[in-house]
Structure 1
């Protein structure tokens, strides 16, 4: 399984990190989920 920026689970985790519910380090290392979430978060801070 491969997650993309448009995957529902990626969007949920991005929202959770942005709201302060979780830190980005707490995003699970499932397939490429953590990598994609970190990428989206990095793009949102530019």
Structure 2
């Protein structure tokens, strides 16, 4: 349903990257968390680090 160009993915990606939210707070809605995680991982962000 979501892809890397989806507005919702871009908003959550930016929110996690800026520290507003943690990756674990990304809603588990369809494939949203998965796509955001892929984008974050592609730039070297550790999605498994809860302190990030």
Tell me, yes or no, whether TM beats 0.5: yes
Q: List 4+ stretches of structure 1 deviating above 3 A.
A: none
SS at match of 2:2: coil
1:25 maps onto 2:24 in alignment: yes
Structure number with greater CO (CA < 8 Å, separation at least 6) is 1
Aligned residues: 45
Q: Which 5+ residue runs of structure 1 have no aligned equivalent?
A: none
Q: Which 5+ residue runs of structure 2 have no aligned equivalent?
A: 46-52
Q: What's the RMSD between the two structures over aligned residues? A: 1.2
Q: Give the number of the structure whose residues are more often helix, by fraction.
A: 1
